[in-house]
Structure 1
């Protein structure tokens, strides 16, 4: 079971939790960074398309392990351009469970392929 923990002296964030407590853990799944590359090798040219594909790829890995995004306790997001933050947030809305997992978002210089604009990695428990 997972429980979101947020600081009581400030409003709870909408898109992440300050912490997530996981109890009764039977398994921990460490998911490598998922990017916006489709099964056919195509890559969307914009961050919204890549964010949606990266989230779909993450969901597919979780499903392969018998889990869903409801099992995500911690998520790390890498963006290559801070200007993409708004479009990423709009595209990723609804892709993560409620309450949202503990999340870190980092702006990085580049990812493994110059076409890539976003990468999402996760730790899931179940």
Structure 2
């Protein structure tokens, strides 16, 4: 069901410092900061030959990564994003298997302008999983 790894998301307490680390220290190509108000985060994508790293910065005090950063003040891996051919088929199959979809269960537009869903980390080995329509 899952396709290729689209990105690994890392929540960071200081987005500018994280950008500098990837761009200046590691020599990576880094996108501009893009606010994602529907998701409460600022996103930056680090382009790699085989996938992407998504750097997540909090967008306001109500950001969903604020609690994550309180527990992990240095930041850390927040979620893995896998592509799926049909997000609704994937959702229905996962629900039938007993997996929990976060939120309303309806896909929302993600950072790439494609429908996304998040799956409960307790159902996936302690890892928050994002599914993105390919």
Place the TM-score, normalised by the shorter chain, in its bin. under 0.3
Higher relative contact order (CA 8 A, sep 6+): 1
TM-score of the pair, normalised by structure 1: 0.23
Which structure shows the bigger proportion of residues in strand conformation? 2
